[in-house]
Amino acid sequence: DGGITQSPKYLFRKEGQNVTLSCEQNLNHDAMYWYRQDPGQGLRLIYYSQIVNDFQKGDIAEGYSVSREKKESFPLTVTSAQKNPTAFYLCASSIGGNEKLFFGSGTQLSVL
């Protein structure tokens, strides 16, 4: 079955620690995205990548970093510079047009 796999489902971060959220897709999609959802809020764009080895900042990129070394993979690192990291993180992909986004099942990040 094709889809987007996010891992882990739950992640805990200690003070001053960097953590990396995994996102893998086997849909052969060109574009990949990271969104953050906070309670009662919509989805806010962190980073997106339209092709391998290229990515752009979204609306809330500060404190986050990404890489896109392979078409299938778009990991997100939440750095210690992100002071309020507790949120539900969603990875998404699209075939390259703007008609539809496909989402993974999400990672809940909490601070210890």
> If binding means CB under 8 A, how many residues of this protein chain bind other proteins?
29
**Should residue 50 be labelled a site residue for other proteins when binding is judged by CB under 8 A?**
yes
Residue 64 interacts with other proteins (CB under 8 A): yes or no: no
DSSP β-bridge partners for residue 19: 78
Give the whole-angstrom CA distance, residue 45 versus residue 61: 8
Site for other proteins contains 94 (CB under 8 A): yes
Q: What is the C-alpha to C-alpha distance for residues 107 and 47, in angstroms, rounded to an integer? A: 16
> Which amino acid, one-letter code, is at 34?
W
Residues at the contact surface with other proteins, assessed by CB under 8 A: 4, 6, 31, 33, 35, 40-45, 48, 50, 88, 90, 92, 94, 96-106, 108
